[in-house]
Amino acid sequence: MSDQALQGARDWSGKTAIITGGASGIGLAIATAFARRGAAVCVVDQNAAGAREAAEGLGEPAAAFGCDVSDAESVRETFGAIFARGRVHILVNNAGVAHVGTVTSTGEEDFDRVLRINVRGVYLCTRAVVGHMKEQGGGTILNMASIAAIAGLPDRFAYSTSKGAVLAMTFSVARDYLADNIRCNAISPARVHTPFVDGFVAKNYPGREAEMMEKLGRAQPIGRMAQPEEVASLAVWLCSDEASFVTGVNYPLDGGFMNLRG
């Protein structure tokens, strides 16, 4: 990468980015990476207190917004307040929930909850921002999908279904808004070491945490889980001007999971 390109990737002064689910985990890592490059980050999270804490940690001009991305009115109010502050250049649809179960063990309420947050949430936030981006001359939308969208993972029926929909929405939005200078891409991580993983292991495998963490790491051919900061690094590039020729693309960030499994 040239010195000029590196400088462009580092300096995001004057740009505003919305990060949903930005209070923790991958979302917080992305928000932090954007803020370090000078972007005005809007941390959007259902956990309003967590969003405020994250924004305070990022410093000015970061701002916090409590929002249920699955609720249309909550999204309208939140995005309206953000638009009142000025132009939005980037939306990262990161908010989501996980679920473990097959088609027969997944209850209707759990299935609906996963799709309501992971699919309806992406739809509502994308719909809210597209008109604004068109009026402002363009923008970038990045969706957090998963290798679950493109690989058959055991016991992930509802989650895989939801992330498959996210990937389909990514391609559709990229196609529909080419002429409006709006790019839309997706990242499909394999397992990422977040506080959610720590909590899941502690809850379901008490006394076996170290064993299970090692097992989860070995599921990737590279031998470990990804770190949130590694996802954030790819997000930075995809949302930067250096990726201006990239749209309608899904990037597996998987430690070799898709192509190098034995």
**Would the pLDDT of 113 be above 60?**
yes
Report pLDDT for 91. Answer: 98
Q: Pseudo-torsion of CA 251, 128, 22, 43, nearest 10°?
A: 140
Average pLDDT over residues 121-148: 97
Whether 177 is catalytic = no
Q: In this prediction, what percent of the chain has a pLDDT beyond 90?
A: 78
Domain regions of the chain by residue span? 3-189+227-247, 191-225
Residue 261 parent element (H or E): none
**Would the pLDDT of 122 be above 60?**
yes
Average pLDDT over residues 45-53: 98
C-alpha span between 137 and 208 (Å, rounded) = 53
Distances (CA, A) of 193 to 3, 52, 97, 227: 32, 23, 15, 6
Answer for the pair 44, 19: CB distance below 8 angstroms, yes or no: yes
pLDDT in tens, 154-194: 999 999 999 999 999 999 999 999 999 999 999 999 999 98
pLDDT in tens, 75-85: 999 999 999 99
Report pLDDT for 5. Answer: 40
Could you tell me which residues are beta bridge partners of residue 16? 40
For residue 3, what pLDDT band results from cuts at 50, 70 and 90?
very low
CATH of 3-189+227-247, one of 3.40.50.300, 3.40.50.720, 2.40.50.140, 3.90.550.10: 3.40.50.720
> From the candidates 123, 159, 177, 251, which is the catalytic residue?
159
C-alpha span between 53 and 104 (Å, rounded) = 39
Distances (CA, A) of 24 to 32, 37, 89, 260: 10, 19, 22, 30
Report pLDDT for 262. Answer: 65
For residue 4, what pLDDT band results from cuts at 50, 70 and 90?
very low
Q: In this prediction, what percent of the chain has a pLDDT beyond 70?
A: 96
